[in-house]
Amino acid sequence: MRPHAFLTTLLLGAALAACSGSQASVAGDAAPGPATTAAAPVPNDGRAIEIGADDTMKFSTVEIRARAGERLSVTLVNKGVTPKFSMGHNWILLTAGANTDEFLTAAAESPTTDYVPAARKAQILAATKLLGPGERDTATFTASSTPGRYPFLCSYPGHAQVGMRGVLIVE
Ligand SMILES: [Cu+2]
């Protein structure tokens, strides 16, 4: 009697373990959904430019040169490992006359829109999404027909201030 009860307990335990195991596997199967979507081909009919970003808060490219009216596809790749909530990166190209300091101040006050200030959207010429580690996103746009210097930056609070900024020079 006792050995039988013991065996039943063992089997019950095994069944529970199998059950929770299968639940974990279901959750695991669901997780790749968004990742698969993110890996889908992005529209990039412009000249491809890849910019890396990582936990050191630097863009791998801080100067881009383009012809007036040239089509560009800028892909930002977050090669860091720190979670997005404390180390997200984006790539935002602004108008030539934009005040970047004021833009960044407004961005820091816009956590609910991934640090993209809604009131200053008119100053944004192109932008990627805010990326977590391992993510990438492409912004395809046509460079201005007006030669000049167009600032770009990461609008995550504090990042542009320590160097995540650069310039698109349209010639
Ligand atoms: Cu950043």
Both structure tokens of 86: 């404390």
The predicted structure's pLDDT at residue 40: 59
Ligand 1 midpoint to CA 146 (Å) = 28
| pTM for the whole structure | 0.75
CA distance 61 to 133: 18
**Tens digit of each residue's pLDDT (9 = 90 or more) over 69-114:** 999 999 999 999 999 999 999 999 999 999 999 999 999 999 999 9
Q: Where are any strands of DSSP class E within 14-110?
A: 47-53, 63-66, 71-78, 92-94
**Least confident segment among 41-50, 106-115, 130-139:** 41-50
CA distance 137 to 125: 16
Ligand 1 midpoint to CA 91 (Å) = 8
Confidence of residue 42 (pLDDT cuts 50, 70, 90): low
Ligand 1 midpoint to CA 11 (Å) = 52
Ligand 1 midpoint to CA 4 (Å) = 61
Ligand 1 midpoint to CA 154 (Å) = 5
**Least confident segment among 10-24, 91-105, 132-146, 157-171:** 10-24
CA distance 156 to 111: 9
Ligand 1 midpoint to CA 40 (Å) = 23
Ligand 1 midpoint to CA 121 (Å) = 19
Would you call 39 helix, strand, or coil by DSSP? helix
